[in-house]
Structure formats: structure tokens, C-alpha cells
Amino acid sequence: MNSNSIVWLFIAILSVTSCGNEKSLPDYGLRKVEIEIDDETLGELNNSYQAKRPFAALVTIDGREYRTDLNYAGKSTLDAFKKSFQLSFKDQRTFKGRSSLRLSSQYVDNSLLRSLIGFKTFSEAGVISPDVEPAVVYLNGRYQGLYHMIEPVDEEFFSVRSLEVKDLYKAKFANAGFDRDFIDRLGDAYSVRLDPKDISPLRYLWEQALSNDAVRANDNIEKVLDVDQYLRYVAAAVAMNHWDGFDNNYFLARLRDGRFRMIPWDLDRVFEDRAYEDGGIWGKNGLTNQILQNVEYRQVYISHLERVISQLEERDLESEIDSWTKNLRSAYEDDPIISSRAPIDESHSELRNNIQVWLATLKSQLAAEKAI
């Protein structure tokens, strides 16, 4: 019997011995994820967390078992007490048509609401966005807390939407803001997510964004970028003060028609209590600056931004937050990490205030722009 088979045997035994405790693990009215991994393997997982090395684990989601490869995920939160997980399902089994899944701890967001609000806002703005929902997570029967179950952005993300992706790039290190300093070292600004690892389409887009001939550049950009979709992305990002969504937390996907689309990622810092020091209603990105030199695109962008703000106001975010507070309270208050940092009512009150202040700031800036 090989070592992998032995690991699965231990997990199977652990699963059987824990079956009697199933009723003692509350779901808090949310989707429940139970991870089972033997102690030795768990020790190896914890000792190699920085390498994101995958290990065999048995995962049960709402009573259905999945054999998986599991590893810690994320970048800035790898050293956090409450880590995120990446699940890769084996045996050709899928969850909601997906063979992988991210369990995000949302460690920097005390409200645990920002991604729920954020992805919905991008989607309503007409931007292709990952599915997300709250879930409670257990590891070997111990409650780990309230997580977000987020759909990864990969080739499968597009195929389940009947889209064909040719190239996929993930922004990294806050270097992907179409800054001239990185035009010759795009490897420091993006990771290439599909084979063959070709950056030439990406480089062409950057060259147009940084061209001194704005008219010709915009003509060329239209051939390789869905400009309207991009402006919708920028409008939603600005409307939510998604300050690191212009140079860091996004994907660029080149689809079958040869044009790029922007995909949002990592929204746990939207509506934070800080402003765009250098961008205001225009965001902060070299590609945006180039496109908005075109007067028509500038008007299209303003219309998109006004529409997103109106959608946020019509959604009545205060009531939406109140509803989430009620639904998540028990799971939040039992979360051993988040609950120790801030009470749920305090975190949600701060988020409400940030939203009100930011939307008022944007509306004031828009009014000033129209008065020019």
C-alpha cells in the first residue's frame, strides 16, 4: 500500500469515527463545510503553509463527501491565524459544476460583508464576476469560523459560462497599474495562468495604454479590449472605493474575440475608510487615463458610475446589511478569530458609515465635474 493510500485510509477511519458527531456541528443556517484530515498530514500542512503544498483531505459539503487535495491559499493572509483554503476535488466530482473552490477567511474584513456586497455590485454593473456565498467551516470537528465560498477564476470559470478564454493573467504585487516602470518587466506585475505562457497580447495592451499618441492608441485599444466592459469595471470599483482593484486585485482575460475583459478578485477591502489620494472619481490606472482622454468614453464612464451609484442606493444597502447581520450573527459571534477583534454590530455600523461617506464624496465630485 503506497503512502497516499495510507493517508486516505486514515481519513476514511476518521470520517467513520466522527459520523456520530455530525448532529453536534451546527450549520448556523448557512452552507456547512467539514474538512477531515489526519493529524500527521495536518502537521505537514501547517509546516509547509508558505509553499501552499496540497494534501489529501476528505471534505463534506452539506452532507456530500468529496475527496480533495487541500492547501492553504492567499498571499497576505498566509501568516494569519485564520487562513484560507483551496480545495481541488478528485474522482471527477464537482461542486456546482466546479472542480475547485476557494474557502476565503476574509481575514482583513471584520464585517465579513464586503465581498458579498462587492461581487454583487460588479455583477449588477455588467462585469463577469465569481459566485460567492457565506459558509461555516469545520476542521476535524472544530469550528474554524465564518468563511466565504468563492468561485476561482480559471479556465473552468469561463467554460461554465459558455465562454472560451485564450489568455488569462492575474495582477500581483500592486504592480499592474499600467505604469511605465513595469512595461519591460510584466512578469513582476502578472502571473500567467494558462499555457502556453504568452505575454505578447498583454504587452500590446500595455504599449497602447502608455502611448503618447492617444487617438491612435484608443483606436488600437478598442481592437484588444472590451472598452465598455472595462469602464463598467472601473465604475463599480470607484463606486465601492476598491482602491487596490486597479493595480493588484484583478484578472485580465482575453476571450475568443481577441479582446480583454477585467474580472474582479479579492474584494475584502471595498468601502474601507480611505480615499483615492490621486484618482478621485477617475480611479488610478494608466489604462483608464489613456481611455478617458477620449471625450465620448469619458461620458460613457460617467454614465456608468452614476448608474452604479444609483443601483447601490436603490438596493438600500443599510437594509441589506441589517439582513446579513441577522443571518450571520450566530456564526460570527462563535467565530474564534473575528469575534475577538470586533463585535458584529460595531463592524457593520462602521461599514454603513463608510458607504454613506464615500457615496456622498463621489456624488459631490460628479457634481463638480458637471459644473466645469
- DSSP string spanning 267-279? -TTTT-S---TTT
246 contacts 266 by C-beta, under 8 angstroms? no
pLDDT of residue 24: 79
The tens digit of pLDDT for each residue in 37-71 reads: 999 999 999 998 899 999 999 999 999 999 999 99
Kindly list the distances between the CA atom of residue 319 and the CA atoms of 149, 236, 349, in Å, as whole numbers in the listed order. 23, 20, 12
The tens digit of pLDDT for each residue in 150-197 reads: 999 999 999 999 999 999 999 999 999 999 999 999 999 999 999 999
Residue given cell 455530525 in the structure block: 22
Residue given cell 469515527 in the structure block: 17
The amino acid occupying position 269 is R
The amino acid occupying position 20 is G
Residues 6+ apart with CB under 8 A from 189: 171, 172, 173, 175, 176, 182
pTM, rounded to two decimals? 0.92
344: helix, strand or coil: helix
Burial of 200 (0-12, 13-18, 19+ CB in 10 A): exposed
Distance CA 130, CA 121 (A): 12
Burial of 277 (0-12, 13-18, 19+ CB in 10 A): exposed
Residue given cell 441577522 in the structure block: 326
Residue given cell 465598455 in the structure block: 228
Report percent pLDDT > 70 for the chain.
Answer: 92
Mean pLDDT, the chain, whole residue set:
93
The tens digit of pLDDT for each residue in 286-326 reads: 999 999 999 999 999 999 999 999 999 999 999 999 999 99
Distance CA 151, CA 154 (A): 9
